[in-house]
Chains A and B, each alone.
Chain A
Amino acid sequence: QQQVKQSPQSLIVQKGGISIINCAYENTAFDYFPWYQQFPGKGPALLIAIRPDVSEKKEGRFTISFNKSAKQFSLHIMDSQPGDSATYFCAASFYGQNFVFGPGTRLSVLP
Chain B
Amino acid sequence: NAGVTQTPKFRILKIGQSMTLQCTQDMNHNYMYWYRQDPGMGLKLIYYSVGAGITDKGEVPNGYNVSRSTTEDFPLRLELAAPSQTSVYFCASTGRGGYNEQFFGPGTRLTVL
A interface with B by C-beta (< 8 Å): 2, 6, 9, 32, 34, 41-46, 49, 51, 89, 95-104
For this complex, 5 residue pairs linking A to B, each with C-beta atoms less than 8 Å apart, are: A34-B101, A49-B99, A98-B48, A99-B43, A103-B41
The total of Cβ contacts below 8 Å across the A-B interface reads: 58
> In the complex, how many angstroms separate the beta carbon of A32 from the nearest chain B beta carbon?
6
Chain A residues with CB under 8 A of B45: 98-100
List the A side residues contacting B98 at CB < 8 Å: 32, 95-97
Which residues of A have CB within 8 Å of B40?
9, 103-104
Contact B99 A32 (CB under 8 A): yes
Does B107 contact A96, Cβ atoms closer than 8 Å? no
Task: Please indicate the chain B residues that have their CB under 8 angstroms from the CB of A2 in the complex.
Answer: 59
Given contacts A99-B45, A104-B42, contact A44 B90 (CB under 8 A): yes
Q: In the complex, what distance in Å separates the CA atom of A98 from the CA atom of B50?
A: 10
